[in-house]
Amino acid sequence: MKSKQVKQDVPQDVFNQWIDLLIMYKRNNLDKNVTISMKSLNEAMEWFNTMKENFMKNSSKDDIKQVTDQLVENGIEKNKINKALGSL
């Protein structure tokens, strides 16, 4: 069965973020069949949001600050981290 293909213009940086998310999702879910598809992307986004919610619920502000500082040290922009985690 062929999947329906839809042509959409997506900015390169957004596409790169999607690929990074799919890679992270696959690395944490080795039993899953992950493809470059909207189905896998939606599953990965749901997984990420669940992980984020659990992290925020179960971590102290000091823990979150420590992780944020480590991400900044690894070259990730602080505004992108805050956007992903939500306002602290």
Q: For every one of its 88 residues, what pLDDT tens digit does the chain have, with 9 covering 90 and above?
A: 565 665 678 888 889 999 999 999 999 999 999 999 999 999 999 999 898 888 888 888 888 888 888 888 877 777 777 777 764 4
| pTM for this prediction | 0.66
> 52 vs 9, 81, 82, CA distance in Å?
28, 11, 12
The sign of the dihedral angle between the CA atoms of 55, 56, 59, 61 is: positive
